[in-house]
Amino acid sequence: MVMTGNTVLITGGSAGIGFALAREFLTAGNEVIVCGRSERKLAQAKEQLPALHTRVSDVSDEQQRQELYNWTIESFPAVNVLVNNAGIQQRLNLQKTSEVWNHYHREIEANLEGPIHLTMLFLPHLLQQSRATVVNVTSGLAITPAAFAPIYSATKAALHSFSISLRVQLQDTPVDVVDILPPAVNTDLGGPGLHTFGADVNEFATAVFQKMDNGELEIGFGDSDRRLKASNEELKQAPKQMWERFKSNNPAF
């Protein structure tokens, strides 16, 4: 992927991985638009990176996705990179569910329906550009699920699968499809303090940016890089090992 001179829309770019990628794209000479649900977080992001364009939008809401698309195309007709990054993570013991379905469904809406719908909205426009990219931020958990986050892991596996199909369908077009599979990264995903054991977010974003520049289409880092190369047997054992480790650290789960 050519990493300069693009107009890039990053969903969930006000914090965490999306914000760190926004910084990389700005530094490399791109126009960058970020969206998120919280106006306050977007304002804080703009304070740190004044060149950012911001827009309040919740990608789990169909109408807001349509409005985001309409606004972006009108305000930034040169948009040629869509980064589907926004996502949430909910930990869940399937033997102890107590919430209404909407509580669980919102993870599917944000992590899966949002990226698929936005891709379908933007695709006709992207296909008209001389070069364009759809970047989906999935997860190492797309390869081996974390049983403590079963719906989350399923959404990421599904988005990883969608990325493969999209890449195959677009192989003879100017649109590349990049799948970033982060390992644990130290952000507020799932709530503050749950990912402090993860990789430094800026180191992660810099490495990912370099790999995109090198033309890689499936991008892992650290542990997720190892998962992408793991044997079938390792892939079979990993979910059980992760679950046992999690249960011993969280006996009341």
| Count, residues near ligand NAP per rule CB under 6 A | 31
Q: Can you say how many angstroms the Cα of residue 223 is from the centroid of all Cα atoms in its chain?
A: 17
Nearer to ligand NAP, 3 or 199 (CB): 199
For the question of residue 152 being annotated catalytic, the response is yes
Residue from 6, 7, 14, 144 in contact with ligand NAP (CB under 6 A)? 14
Residue from 88, 116, 154, 170 in contact with ligand NAP (CB under 6 A)? 88
47 SS3 class:
helix
Q: Where are the beta strands (DSSP E) in 73-155?
A: 81-84, 132-137
Residue 22 in contact with ligand NAP, rule: CB under 6 A: no
Where does residue 56 rank: exposed (0-12), middle (13-18), buried (19+ CB within 10 A)?
A: middle
Judged by CB under 6 A, the stretch of 34-42, 71-79, 127-135, 213-221 that binds ligand NAP is: 34-42
- Rounded CA-CA distance 33/118 in Å is 15
Residue from 6, 30, 60, 163 in contact with ligand NAP (CB under 6 A)? 60
Q: 53 has which bridge partners?
A: 33
Nearest-CB residue for ligand NAP? 16
The 8-class DSSP code of residue 187 comes to: S
Nearer to ligand NAP, 3 or 189 (CB): 189
Residue 150 in contact with ligand NAP, rule: CB under 6 A: no
Residue 12 in contact with ligand NAP, rule: CB under 6 A: yes
Q: Where are the beta strands (DSSP E) in the chain?
A: 7-11, 31-36, 53-56, 81-84, 132-137, 175-180, 218-219
Residue from 37, 91, 125, 247 in contact with ligand NAP (CB under 6 A)? 37
Q: 178 has which bridge partners?
A: 135
Task: Name the residues that contact ligand NAP, by CB under 6 A.
Answer: 11-12, 14-18, 35-38, 41, 58-60, 85-89, 110, 137, 139, 182, 184-185, 187-189, 195, 198
